[in-house]
Structure 1
Amino acid sequence: MNGLAEFRRRTGSGRRILPALILTAVISIAAAQGATITVGAEGCDYSSIQKAIEAAKAGDILSVQSGTYRENLVVDKTLILRGRDTGSGMPAVDGRGVGSAIILNADQITLEGFVVKNAGHGKAGIEVNSDRNYIRNNLITENRWHGIYLSDSDENVITGNVVSKNRYGIWIPAGSDGNRITANELLDNSHGNAVDAGVNRWEMNAYDDLGEGVTRYRITGGPNVDERPKAATLQVEEAETKISTITVKITIPTPIIG
């Protein structure tokens, strides 16, 4: 009896193996995705985002409902933080005027769907001290110093955000390289929309100080140039509405007529 036949004899049937393997694969994928932890005022696992971060394990998803969270968040695990508009707008992280509102200290964090505001003097709405994070579809506004600040932080993707009414919009000092900053709106930042002394890629961002007829936007502080800039036109209220809107595409199957 060859090896395959002997294996089938011992396991009963080759047909029984495949469903077991598929089930094992599904369980493994589900485990890899991590648990979903809800945060909100009522009916959720936690009412504090920071408490949820402390309880979470790497790979977990924090689903944060509408509301204002007066906290200074330190994210020190690889997590997905996802804001959900549950009826009263995007959830807001309010830094209370002291420190940075959100600090990313672990690699490969996803931060999306938040209003981030009221960080303190010399600090940032979002302070990034790690690599390969994904920061998208947030409104970063009314912070006393930086909107987004990167420190020795490489290969991050910053996309689809509105950075408005801060002292400085996005600030990247030397030593942060390989980052991609694309399709963001930068406007009404009193001392400048963008400063970058690293080597990073800026593409298709919108700026309210883009001169008429200008086709290249030079980023202050270094050699970086946005080769495809746009003129920013959004106001903060419009931006929050735009970011909060979710478009759902429904496909109806064609009926089969016998």
Structure 2
Amino acid sequence: MKKSHFLFVLLVVVLLVWAGFPQVVEVKAEPRTLVVPDDFSTIQEAVDAASEGDTVFVKSGTYTESVCIDQTLSLVGEDPATTKIVGEYQLNGTVVLIRHNNVSVTGFTVQPSAYSFSRKGVHLLHVSHCSVVGNVILDNGVGVWLYGSSENNITGNTINGPVERSYGIWADKSPSNWILDNIVTNNYYGISINSDGNTVCGNTVVSNSRKGVTIRSNNNIVSGNVVTNQESGIVLAGSNNVLRDNKVSESELSFDLAWGLQWSVSDFVNDVDSSNTFDGKTVVYWVNEHNNKVPEDVQTVVLVNCTNITVENLVLSNSREGIMLVGTTKSTVRNNSVQSMDDAILLFLSSNNTITDNTVHDSSDGVLLCSSFQNTITGNSIADGNTGIKLDTSDENILSGNVISDGNRGGISLEGSNNNKIFGNTVSDCTRRAVWLWNHASQNLFYLNNFVNNTVNVEKYIADIIDCTFPPNVWDNGTLGNYWNDYNGTDTNSNGIGDTPYIIEENNQDNYPLMEQVDISTIPEFPSLILLVSGLFVVGVLSIICRRAFKSVEMKKQKVSSAFR
């Protein structure tokens, strides 16, 4: 009992001693409002004097300074039309630098004292949960720059640039931000998103000289934007992006699908539906579609991982790609008119398709195949472009019955492409070359083609000429070659085939050059009908021999008749 009594007394003593010490109670200060210029002559002085959660209120006036915010606060201007921050070249050219989370900047005109590309209006650097709302941002190299920043809100700002080398809004390494209801004008690039998971909605993007809205990343939402009068309206280069209700007009390339040769089919998977309009037309962007026909009156066609699709009777212009097949098979592109494109008809990682009877005008590449195999390109008319038909790392395709003429720089280009059959085509009036071979393009078969009035008929890349270790191309099928308008040989037996080969270069020659142009309309589409080709050609040759024999007999008759007069 004594021990228990002692412990009880000891506990009471300890409690009395503890109660005698003064208790420290944390009292949180109420947020203050610091007023410039009433309380502080400069904005930076007020920001430095502020505590977490304070508001710095700036009355109308022009404040020539740069401002760095490195704690949580709200910076509020009285009126964006009359409250101006004019940044001198401090903070590496930034007018307002945000370096802390949960900062709000609203109600200012933000501009540099003089333009240079390095000047930034508002720079969010490695921060989150900040707001830049309702400001006028003028004449910066970058109006709003997010770098390493996420979950920020850029809303309701008017951003006007100096056009040359400027960005309106640039999200770089900055995921999951909201860019909403801004007006972005007269920059080089309007809104540029190089990071994943951003939301770009309700913005008006007008008269930015190069690009309107650029998405070079994945999993973004681009919705309800109005994009007008840019070189490229919306640029899409990424996957799993969602485009809805965007209106693009008066742009040289209204829809610009930017992509790379290193991409896979999955990199092209995006959700672009018919609610988007480009110069009043929709874009057909189908993924995993099968056994269908593309509707008419569309702006651009992109088919990703599709089979048995028909694309016909379309009139397309003013996009980077007119008709693009990616990972698509057993589809037909027929009787379309495509003009003013970078790539009028493009096949990437696609096989067993037919491209036929299309008309292409004024496009960089008329038909372009990249890593695509066993396709048939036939009966197309291609004029006034850079290259008529280009094969890049594409094997075992058939090119037949195409007419490439009237001002193309190049006719047929084969880059690293092998075992293709090129027959029955007419390539004429190319200002650079009819056929361009490079990157070890080999074992391609050319026959029954017409090469007429080209500056150069065949040109090989110089490294390919020096390196002769790979197999050559073949310029006849063993009995029939091609027609070359600069062939100077003779035909002593009048069989329609030159007596001597047409020399292209040391390891390439046409052993059976034709003396007259081939009527390509009589040439069949598929090489399984080669015997018919040969038969038709023999008929043609026989007709030439008969005509010449008939002329000879007539001349002899005239001589005999003259002798008896």
TM-score by length of 1: 0.68
- The partner residue of 1:201 within 192, 199, 202 is 199
1:29-48 alignment, distance < 5 Å: 31-32=29-30, 34-40=31-37, 44-48=38-42
1:52-67 alignment, distance < 5 Å: 52-67=46-61
1:173 aligns with 2:172: yes
Deviates more, 1:160-169 or 1:176-185: 160-169
Output the CA distance in 1 between the equivalents of 2:77 and 2:102: 17
**Do the aligned residues in 1 keep the contact of 2:139 with 2:160 (CA within 8 Å)?**
yes
Deviation at 1:186, TM superposition (A): 0.6
Which amino acid letter does the alignment assign opposite residue 157 of structure 1? N
Pair 1:94–1:218, CA change in 2 (3 A): closer
Aligned to 2:100: 106
- The partner residue of 1:219 within 207, 214, 217 is 214
Output the CA distance in 2 between the equivalents of 1:149 and 1:218: 15
Q: Structure 1 stretches (4+) deviating beyond 2 angstroms?
A: 217-226, 230-233
Deviation at 1:102, TM superposition (A): 0.5
Deviation at 1:96, TM superposition (A): 2.2
Tell me the C-alpha RMSD between the 2 structures. 2.3
1:1-258 alignment, distance < 5 Å: 31-32=29-30, 34-40=31-37, 44-85=38-79, 89-98=81-90, 99-118=93-112, 120-129=116-125, 130-143=127-140, 145-166=141-162, 167-174=166-173, 176-189=174-187, 191-199=188-196, 200-209=198-207, 218-223=213-218, 224=220, 226-230=222-226
Write out per-residue CA displacement over residues 46-79 of structure 1, whole angstroms, 9 at most, x where no aligned residue: 1100000111101100010111111111000101
**Do the aligned residues in 1 keep the contact of 2:81 with 2:109 (CA within 8 Å)?**
no
Residue 193 of structure 1 aligns to a residue whose secondary structure is strand
Output the CA distance in 2 between the equivalents of 1:209 and 1:229: 14
Deviation at 1:37, TM superposition (A): 0.2
Pair 1:208–1:47, CA change in 2 (3 A): same
Pair 1:133–1:232, CA change in 2 (3 A): farther
Output the CA distance in 2 between the equivalents of 1:83 and 1:218: 29
Deviation at 1:150, TM superposition (A): 0.7
Structure with the bigger percentage of strand: 2
Deviation at 1:168, TM superposition (A): 1.1
Which amino acid letter does the alignment assign opposite residue 168 of structure 1? Y
**Do the aligned residues in 2 keep the contact of 1:218 with 1:225 (CA within 8 Å)?**
no
Percent pairwise identity: 28
Output the CA distance in 1 between the equivalents of 2:42 and 2:217: 39
Deviation at 1:227, TM superposition (A): 1.8
Which amino acid letter does the alignment assign opposite residue 57 of structure 1? S
Which amino acid letter does the alignment assign opposite residue 77 of structure 1? Q
**Do the aligned residues in 1 keep the contact of 2:190 with 2:213 (CA within 8 Å)?**
no
Output the CA distance in 2 between the equivalents of 1:218 and 1:187: 12
**Do the aligned residues in 2 keep the contact of 1:187 with 1:232 (CA within 8 Å)?**
no
Which amino acid letter does the alignment assign opposite residue 175 of structure 2? D
Write out per-residue CA displacement over residues 62-106 of structure 1, whole angstroms, 9 at most, x where no aligned residue: 010111111111000101000003xx9431111124510000001
Deviation at 1:219, TM superposition (A): 2.4
Deviation at 1:181, TM superposition (A): 0.4
Output the CA distance in 1 between the equivalents of 2:82 and 2:135: 9
Deviation at 1:225, TM superposition (A): 5.2
**Do the aligned residues in 1 keep the contact of 2:81 with 2:108 (CA within 8 Å)?**
no
Deviation at 1:155, TM superposition (A): 0.2
Pair 1:148–1:218, CA change in 2 (3 A): closer
Which amino acid letter does the alignment assign opposite residue 196 of structure 1? I
Q: Considering Cα pairs closer than 8 Å and 6+ residues apart, tell me whether 1 or 2 has the greater RCO.
A: 1
**Do the aligned residues in 1 keep the contact of 2:101 with 2:128 (CA within 8 Å)?**
yes
**Do the aligned residues in 2 keep the contact of 1:186 with 1:207 (CA within 8 Å)?**
yes
- Please, which runs of 5 or more residues in structure 2 have no aligned partner? 1-26, 230-565
**Do the aligned residues in 1 keep the contact of 2:181 with 2:203 (CA within 8 Å)?**
yes
**Do the aligned residues in 1 keep the contact of 2:109 with 2:138 (CA within 8 Å)?**
yes
Which amino acid letter does the alignment assign opposite residue 85 of structure 2? V
Larger radius of gyration: 2
Write out per-residue CA displacement over residues 149-176 of structure 1, whole angstroms, 9 at most, x where no aligned residue: 01100000010100112421001112x1
**Do the aligned residues in 2 keep the contact of 1:205 with 1:226 (CA within 8 Å)?**
no
How many residues in Structure 1 have an aligned counterpart in Structure 2?
Answer: 190
**Do the aligned residues in 2 keep the contact of 1:97 with 1:120 (CA within 8 Å)?**
no
